[in-house]
Amino acid sequence: MSYVIPLARGWKSITLRHLLTYHYSSRAPNYQFMSILMPLFVIFVVILIFNIIIFVHELGHFLAARWRGLEVERFQIWFGKPIWSKTYNGVQYGLGWIPFGGFVALPQMATMEKIEGENTSDKPLPPAKPLDKIIVAFAGPLFSFLLAVITAFAVWGIGKPSYKMNSVTVGYIMPDKPAADAQPAFQEGDQILAVNGIEVDRWRGDTDTGISENIMLSEGKTIEFTVKRDGLAEPIIVKSGYHIPDTAWYDRRAMRQVGIMMGYRTLVGEVIDHSPAQLAGLQAGDEILSVNGKKAHTYQHIVDAELTDAPASVVVLRDGREQRFSITADKPISPEGSDPTFGIMPGPDPELVTSTITHPTAWAQIEHSVGIMYTTITKVISSQSDVGVQHLAGPIGIGKGYYQMLTSPDGWKMALSFTVLFNINLAILNMLPFPVLDGGHITLSLLEIIARRPVQPRVLEFVQSAFVLMIMGLFLFITSKDVGSFFTEAKESQIPVFEEAAKPSD
């Protein structure tokens, strides 16, 4: 079994240092205990989900082999030497030490000793018929598909969270990026209706209708945006190039960007103590309307004003009335080397993201999952795309995704929905006609039917060894990127600390 799941990697805004979660030290001891216990419980649940998915897939092979009368030597979850095993009715059941897939050892089929270990049975066995081998190989993907169907029916009844980022507005055009040279030029306030002819209704969050996703998955050297602009009766086509930001060697290569930011209401979430913004009179909950006479479509307009070192004229909406403030950015005393800042932390816009519980039919979920897999595979192999195998996720990446889902509101429903995609992925990829995969066994059996004799053992061993090395190399490469992403995400900005202004002496 192999894991290859599309990994949506969005681009990080340069205002990430302002988008922080606050952690306070004054927490109850019981909360501290739960904060340690809960992650451990979630990790246990993630491991349990993985094992259930693997077990069902391998159970298909096992039951089919028993049905067709084939010798079953071992049933093992995970590869490598067993860290636990028990023999029952002549079958060794075990748990390996390499957390990557599982297998059912069937000596009468094409042996997989490079992964499964050497067969221990020395009794002569009659060769399995090609039809029996096809049935046994096909049973694994079939059981994965059936698990996906069962899960999809559960999601249909329970529902799944659907998040929509309700903005298609161009809020900021980054200088020195391709969008700044688009023809005709982008303008702040533009409404994006389509990307490369694909209609969009949100900035991100959906591979079909998200602006960011369609930019990242685009092909060719030019990206076309259908744009609605104030003052124009008809939409216009804006053509832009793209760029791919540099990333650390241990992280995944970034995805395509054009250099535009989403427009949204710019709200003040918190004002840092003793900061220029607090001294000027800004308050949490203020809506920033303009900075230096320019409409504040995004928080980036605040950042630009901070970096000028000049007094900025900021107009805010408070209690239905507009108020004007003059603020000059100052350097905080911590963290050391920070840029000048007003000391404003952005607040979430409750109108920006909507969450609803949807009930897609089981067939709609299966169809959508197959579509995602088709898009992923075609983009990876396309020479016109910048999506590569490094953008896929292995067991660590998938486990991380499950962890993030299960620790979010209604996350268990989201994880249940993702399990549909996971099993469809498992079924499709294992049907690819490559040695060591189920599809490879089927292909070899079909060749045996055509040639009326099995593939020569020495040839088979050579081909399998080559593919084992290739798959393990691919697995290690993807896993290295999964691990590398943890280091990148750990680099979060600190909340600035300002020196308290000296009080005038009496």
Judge whether residue 234 has pLDDT over 70.
yes
pLDDT of 169 reads 96
Provide the CB-side half-sphere exposure for 321 (13 A, CA): 3
Element (H, E) at 326: strand 321-327
* Residue spans per domain, the chain: 5-9+38-161+355-489, 167-262, 266-351
Percent of the chain with pLDDT over 90: 53
pLDDT value of position 17: 31
β-pairing verdict for 5-6 and 344-347: unpaired
Relative to beta strand 266-271, strand 287-291 is antiparallel
Query: DSSP 3-state assignment of 229?
Result: coil
Where residue 177 falls among pLDDT bands split at 50, 70, 90?
Answer: very high
**Confidence class for position 33, pLDDT limits 50, 70, 90:** low
- The predicted pLDDT at position 25 comes to 35
Question: What integer pLDDT is reported at residue 21 of this predicted model?
Answer: 32
SS3 at position 172: strand
Domain 167-262 shares a fold with domain 266-351: yes
Confidence (pLDDT) at 494: 67
According to the model, what pLDDT value does residue 112 have? Answer: 55
CATH superfamily name and code, 167-262: PDZ domain (2.30.42.10)
pLDDT digits (tens, 9 = 90+) for 352-398: 888 889 999 999 999 999 999 999 999 999 999 999 999 998 888 89
Listed in sequence order, the residues at least 6 apart from 84 whose beta carbon sits closer than 8 Å to its beta carbon are 94, 95
Mean pLDDT (whole number) for 154-168: 91
The reported pLDDT for the residue numbered 461 is 77
**Four-residue CA torsion sign, 334, 338, 343, 345:** negative
CATH of 266-351, one of 2.60.120.380, 2.30.42.10, 3.40.50.720, 3.40.50.2300: 2.30.42.10
What is the pLDDT confidence band of residue 311, given thresholds at 50, 70 and 90? Answer: very high
Q: Which residue has the higher pLDDT, 434 or 492?
A: 434
The pLDDT assigned to 6 comes to 41
pTM above 0.85, yes or no: no
